[in-house]
Amino acid sequence: MPPVHSFRDAGLSFGIGLDASSFDDDEDMLREVRLVWRSYRGFGDADLLGRRDVFDAVLVDGRRTVVGEDGGGRLVVGAPADIAVLDLAEMSADVLYSGFDIADLLLTRMAKRHLKRLIVGGRTIVENGACVSVDRADLEAALLRSAKAARAAAPPDDGRIARLQGAVEAYYGAGFHKQGGR
């Protein structure tokens, strides 16, 4: 677990995003946000991250790591805005009282199945939960053909990748990363 409390104490920001290694490989960024929220909850009033910290890490600082400092990530006049429209009614269908906190609902229930529309740079990318900007099946087929062609053209591995993976596992398993590189 990254020591986000140390980052914050040092005045550093941190972002939350996907790097093709989402939890159980479901590519659900909203679920990843929930995982971070739950992972950094403390006991009683000792939460390591507040709601705003988590949302800023996703919407502001996470965005900054991808597109740079462009003023985006906040809804303010003139700022670039990517907008996700979530189905709040579906998320709260079994909630029995009307005074629930929307931020708490998002941080405990939101998942990609609730995404109804995604607008990026003024262009609709997702509509009614489905990607409308590309033909996913065609794109996946083209990527798979390209990967197979690249693999066929690559020199033989001769076990180099397995040896490298073993060395990395041994390095971290021995705790060398915690000893200042010694």
Mean pLDDT throughout 13-33?
78
Report which of 111, 114, 92, 93 is spatially closest to residue 101, judged by C-alpha positions: 92
Mean pLDDT throughout 144-152?
92
Mean pLDDT throughout 34-45?
79
Question: Tokens 């010694």 appear where?
Answer: 182
Q: What's the mean pLDDT when you consider all of the chain?
A: 85
pLDDT digits (tens, 9 = 90+) for 83-96: 899 999 999 999 98
Per DSSP, the three-state class of 100 is coil
- More confident: 104 or 66: 104
User: Rounded to whole angstroms, what are the CA distances from 177 to 2, 26, 166, 172, 173?
Assistant: 13, 29, 15, 6, 9
pLDDT digits (tens, 9 = 90+) for 99-129: 889 999 999 999 999 999 998 878 899 999 8
pTM score: 0.67
Residue 29 in contact with residue 19, Cβ under 8 Å?
no
Q: Cα–Cα distance between 49 and 174 in angstroms, integer? A: 30
**β-pair partners for 86:** 115
